[in-house]
Amino acid sequence: MSGNTVTHSVTAIVPVGPARPRVRGISLSGSRAARELGLKRGEFDLAVHMGCIRTVADDGGGGLRVTRAEIDRVSSESGFPETLRERVRVVGTSDGAALLDVTTARFTRLARLGQVAPVKFYLNRYRAVVWLYLAEEIRQFAADEENAPFLTGRTPECLRDQLDEGLDLRPRNWRGRHLGFLLRQAEDPWARAAGVASLLDPVEVAEIVRDPYERAYLNRLRPAQSAHGAPDSPAAQVAAKIMTAEYPDEIDWLRSDLRQTVAEAREHRPAPRPGPKTPSPGGAQHGAPLVRATSAVRSGEPACGAPSHLGEDPEKPRGLLGWLRRRTP
């Protein structure tokens, strides 16, 4: 189905802030930080993605960590921990419908039309996709008087036709939001390019990034995905489809931004590749090892509590941020 049927697209917050600091002083692993903040690990991860909890890079290669100062900052906020838990509370279709005071069927139609956007998903035991939404965003949607027509009465005929044709913007809106999360946590230009590439089919990536060493580096930096069954299992295939762009205009935007981010990454530094062969003391030839790249880590300003908007953009957007923010007819 053509991407021209899209009615709305989620606004994702893309980071443009200062570099994420390296670890200094006492810091905690994600699991330890979650326990100290009284959060389940899923709640903690979502809080990090949303910018509610700032992380630092671990020079030892152990992944992102949380400083003691950040733990103190978060725990000193008004209403902690209930306020923080509420910011990251997610609900499924039934609870979401209850918050809007509509039937589950109407809530599903709203989600398929892009009026409410999922923030997470998982596959149940029957390999059916279960979408999860931020409760705070749903309440804000209900409070907006402009959305009242969507909550009562018949769905407009033009929208019913799109639904009958199979329109479902939930995967696309999740991808847009997820990409914002990836870019917020990206360590450098190459990591940002890897985030964009992770949403494209490998064939699309190969057409844009011709250099095999650059493609290998992007693959090495590819963001880790949550496990959805064993590799190549039916469940993993379903999840992979959700994580891969499918609409023609969506693919075009990602290809354009991959081209741009890779160009920026090349200017930042070249991708590591084998160096020239040099004779060893014993006369044997050995290729130089791949250079380990190190760079400052970038992060954005906290975006916690800033929900996605379904607003209008009077001009044609440019670049990745524009794609994430635009509203198409």
- The reply to whether 270 falls in a domain is no
pLDDT tens digit sequence for 76-126: 999 999 999 999 999 999 999 999 999 999 999 999 999 999 999 999 988
Distance CA 249, CA 167 (A): 15
- The reply to whether 127 falls in a domain is yes
Q: In this structure, are residues 46 and 177 in contact, taking their beta carbons and an 8 Å threshold?
A: no
Q: How many CB atoms lie within 10 A of CB 254?
A: 25
- The reply to whether 144 falls in a domain is yes
Average pLDDT over residues 46-61: 84
Q: Which of the pair, 9 or 216, is modelled with greater confidence?
A: 216
Average pLDDT over residues 54-63: 74
Q: How many CA atoms lie within 13 A of 7 on its CB side?
A: 20
- Residue 47: which of 202, 220, 184 has the closest Cα? 184
- The reply to whether 11 falls in a domain is no
Q: Which range of residues forms the domain containing residue 165?
A: 89-171
Average pLDDT, rounded, for the chain: 81
pLDDT tens digit sequence for 217-272: 999 999 877 767 777 788 889 999 999 999 999 999 999 999 999 999 999 999 99
- The reply to whether 202 falls in a domain is no
- The reply to whether 136 falls in a domain is yes
**CA torsion, ordered 179, 328, 159, 140, to nearest 10 deg:** 60
**Structure confidence at residue 62 (pLDDT):** 63
Residue 324 DSSP code: H
Backbone angles phi, psi at 98, to 5 degrees: -65, -40
pLDDT tens digit sequence for 130-139: 999 999 999 9
Kindly tell me if the per-residue pLDDT of 280 is higher than 90. Answer: no
User: Helices 189-197 and 212-220, interaxial angle, to 10°?
Assistant: 90
Q: In this structure, are residues 233 and 227 in contact, taking their beta carbons and an 8 Å threshold?
A: no
Burial track 94-117 (b if 16+ CB lie within 10 A, e otherwise)? ebbbebbebeeebbbbbbbbbbbb
Length of the chain counted residue by residue: 329
Q: How many domains are there within the chain?
A: 1
**Structure confidence at residue 231 (pLDDT):** 77
Average pLDDT over residues 305-320: 41
